[in-house]
Amino acid sequence: MYKELLWIFTQLPDDYIVLDTETTGLPDENGPPDIVTLGITVVRNRKIAESVEFKTRPQKHISEEAQRIHGITNEQAAEFESFDAQWNQIADYLKDQLIVIHNASFDWPILLDHVARYGLSMPPIQGVFCSQKAAIPWAQATDLSCSHRGPSLDTLTKVLSVENLRDKTDGIHGAGIDSRQTARVIEVMRCYGSLDEIQTWNNDVSGEV
């Protein structure tokens, strides 16, 4: 129903990357939080081709709430490699790509803050697409739970009957797993008008690691 409101998803290129982060908490009077993990899922020809997660040592303390969400303690994070030491690898994935983020208004400024903080250079990109904002018209028309940011990834996963990868981690969030989940949801939304296409796509990715 109201599939025409998902038209913007049909305009996405067949090749793009999905980015997600887990952080030390929320922005506060001291500025943006630090990245603890950064996940990138590579989509090629509308299929998940690769997924990688970078664990980065934060400079800020991880809040208790954030630890409950992603399960990473301050002691664990202290052993991670620094963000700037891994930037060249991260930047290689971003270069010349359309970057899709669910809640881009949160993740993207944090990434740019890290690039500036460490005196790094952002590679050229095609642009940033927020899948959460793009889904607002359809979510509102179908009476889905929807904040001012848009419907959550969990809400879209449930209503579209997409396998929830977090079920394998007892609900714990992770940048890598959430970037894969976003890619799966986006491709189902792209072909939402045909149940046969949805079933075919789900079957195609059912064997992914």
Q: What is the pLDDT of residues 99-148, one digit of tens each?
A: 999 999 999 999 999 999 999 999 999 999 999 999 999 999 999 989 99
Parent domain of 116: 3-204
The C-alpha angle 173, 30, 82, rounded to 5 degrees, equals: 55
Residue 156 has pLDDT above 90, yes or no: yes
3-state DSSP percent of the chain in helix, strand and coil, to 5: 45, 20, 35
pLDDT per residue over 160-170, tens digit each? 999 999 888 77
Type of residue numbered 139: A
CA-only gyration radius of the chain, Å:
17
> Could you tell me which residue, 157 or 195, shows the higher pLDDT?
157
- In this structure, what CATH number is given to the domain that contains residue 82? 3.30.420.10
Residue 209 lies in a domain: no
Residue 10, domain member (yes or no)? yes
In a domain, 180, yes or no: yes
Q: Is residue 193 included in any domain, yes or no?
A: yes
Look up residue 76 and give its DSSP letter. H
Query: Does 104 map to a domain?
Result: yes
Confirm whether 58 is domain-assigned: yes
Residue-wise pLDDT tens digits, 1-24: 788 889 899 899 999 999 999 999
pLDDT at site 121? 97
26 part of a folded domain: yes
User: What does the pLDDT read at residue 166?
Assistant: 84
Q: Does residue 99 form part of some domain?
A: yes
Chain segment 18-31, per-residue pLDDT in tens: 999 999 999 888 88
pLDDT class of 209 with cuts at 50, 70, 90: very low
pLDDT at 194 over 50: no
Cα(121)–Cα(191) distance, integer angstroms: 36
Domain count, the chain: 1
